[in-house]
Each structure stands twice: as C-alpha cells, then as structure tokens.
Amino acid sequence: MKKSLKLFTVVASVAMVAGVAVAPASFAAKPKVCLALDTGGIDDHSFNASAWAGAQTQKSVADVSYVVADAANPDYAGEVKSLVTAKCDLIVGVGFMLGGEIGKAAVANPTIKFAMVDDPGLVDNKPVANLKGLTFKSDETAFLAGYLAAGYSKTGKVATYGGIAIPPVTIFMVGYQAGVNYYNKVKGTHVAVLGWDSATKTGTFVGSFNDSVKAGQISKNFEQQGADVIFPVAGGLEYATAANSATSKKSVVIGVDSDMYLSATTAGQRLVVLNSTLKGVGASVKDAISSVVKGTFSNVAYVGTLKNGGGALAGYHSLGRKVPTALQKEIVALQKAVIAGTVKVS
C-alpha cells in the first residue's frame, strides 16, 4: 500500500515551576490529526482533496497528515492500523469504503478519537463513544440539481449514473430524480430521468470510481437515448463525462461534491459544466478537528445541510447566460423553501 503519512514533532519552550519543567499552555503539544483517504490520490478534485483542504485550515492548531489507499490494491485495514500505530489523536476516515475499518478501530482503541466522512458513525447500528459520523443531506442539493436539469433540458430527458451503488452515491440519485419529479409536478411536464429509478432502487453504475473509459461510454449511451443533462455521481469520473460532452456538444454536466468548473482540466470541460452540487466535506473535517482542539469532541453526528452550509449549488459560471433568469430565480426560491421545510425532499 502506498503510504504518505507525514509525522510532525512540536518542540515547546518550558518554564520552571517549583523545580519542575512545565510547558506553557500556548506551547502545549498540538493534537495529531491523521486522515485515512480512499483511492484517487490527494488531488482527486473530490473527497480526498476537499477533506485535506479542510484539515489544512486547522494546521495552526493541529498537526495534520494523511495516508492514501492504493488504487490497484486498497488495504483499508492496514491503512487505518498504520495511523493507530502512529499514535494519532484523531483519525478521520474519508470515503464510505473505509467505514468498516474505522468502526473496528474505534471499538478496539477507545482512547483514540475517530471520525468518518459519509457515515453515521455506528457499529452494529449502535453509537460508539469515540466515533463521530460526518454526514450530509446530499439529496437536498441533488434535488435542486434535478429541478435545474429538468428546467434546462431541451430534449425532455436527463440522466444520472453512479460510481458504486452505495448509500452516499444513491442519495444523490434519489434527490436528483425527486427534483425532476417536482419540476414535472409544478410545470405539468414529463421530463424523464435515465440511469436511476427510486421506485425500484436500480440504476446505472460504473462499478468503481476509476474506470474513466466505462464512464465515458455510459455518457455516450445516455446521449444516444436523448439525454442532454448528465449528473455523474462518481467522484473524478465526472471529468470523463465532461470530456465526452465537450466533444459531442450534445449534453452538459452537473458536477458533484466540489465545483467542477474550477477543477476541470481543460477549457472544453469548463464550457459544459452547468453547475455542481457541493458537499461540505472540508467543513465537516474542520469541525471535527476543531472539536478535538477545543475539548468538545463527542459522538454526536455532524449533519451537513443546505441550512448550515454543508451543501449548496456552486453556480452557473460560463453557462449562466443560457439558464433562463426565471429558472434561476425559481431555484433560489426552491432552496429557501427546502431550508424552511415547506418543500420536502422525498
């Protein structure tokens, strides 16, 4: 397994009190915070990068480091064990696939604090005193994205696909379809969703988060069926969809987790990004670290919502001029209604 753990040592000045060396509070050792990242690398333009960015905002009060799972042969157990051995004060698992090993480690090491992104922080459906879940109501932002997609579509067909069929992925797909359905209800239209059916809980999946060839082919298939807006819930694979859209000129893309427009690698990709659903992974990691620093850490789950900034739409960027002003205003009003609870995301 590829390991990238960075260890830091803090050297503090000391004062003599009654002949005993005492470190002043301002020079107290910083807590050691270690991130266990999933495959994709530290610069995946998705979860890993967002989590690391959130951790780095706390580097003045905590020593932060990370290890990354090897894409070809991920060893999640070994990854987490390496951080326990390194005597980290807080270990943050980033990515749903790490949840099982983080849970086991939390039970086996009650003196170490753990947090898990995209997981409620339960082991055998029970809370663990030293394990904090970092969760998100991702269906709220996806609901807005679905409404946007339906309102923007000229063909009356929009699409979505996932990387792997796991809850943090399918929650976006459920919310997306709900948003399209709500648009149809309000407007009396019949925009169809390809790639997901909430009634049967079945849909289109790549089977991984790193097969860009398959992701590109899925995108082409959707276009051949008439979809002109595609919502890939597959981490970095959204760029394969953007590359296809930039070439075909038949569809636009809604990004996931981070602002796809800002992280796109080519001008052509940026031109086909309609918007992105932001997930506050960095904010959740920052919150967990801050609680350790302040001594307020608990196993009460963090829940990111539209209301607390744990979710949002990124913005229209270069395609803003093609999104009708009336539609943009409707989405602003819809977000307020979801926050107020007058519109339910189901």
Give the model confidence (pLDDT) of 84-124 as tens digits. Answer: 999 999 999 998 889 999 999 999 999 999 999 999 999 99
Give the pLDDT of residue 294: 96
pLDDT band at 17 (very low <50, low <70, confident <90, very high): very low
pLDDT band at 187 (very low <50, low <70, confident <90, very high): very high
Helix (H, G, I), strand (E, B) or coil at 169: helix
Contacts of 259-262 with C-beta under 8 Å, sequence gap 24+, read 259/314, 259/315, 260/45, 260/314, 261/314, 261/315, 261/317, 261/318, 262/314
Give tens-digit pLDDT for 192-239: 999 999 999 999 999 998 899 999 999 999 999 999 999 999 988 999
pLDDT band at 51 (very low <50, low <70, confident <90, very high): very high
| Topology of the domain covering 15-136+281-304 | Rossmann fold (3.40.50)
Give the pLDDT of residue 100: 95
Give the pLDDT of residue 28: 56
Q: Where in the chain is the domain with CATH 3.40.50.2300?
A: 15-136+281-304, 138-279+316-340
Give the pLDDT of residue 97: 87
How much is the mean pLDDT over the chain?
A: 91
Q: Closest Cα partner for 93 from 66, 60, 62?
A: 66
* Prediction pTM value: 0.82
Share in percent of the chain as helix, strand, coil (round to 5): 40, 20, 35
Both structure tokens of 306: 């539209």
CB 63 within 8 A of CB 31: yes
Both structure tokens of 20: 């005993």
Report the first-to-last Cα separation within the chain, whole angstroms: 41
DSSP codes joined into one string, 176-191: HHHHHHHHHHHHT---
CATH of 138-279+316-340, one of 3.40.50.2300, 3.40.50.740, 3.10.129.10, 3.40.309.10: 3.40.50.2300
Higher pLDDT, 44 or 30: 30
Q: Closest Cα partner for 317 from 254, 270, 250?
A: 270
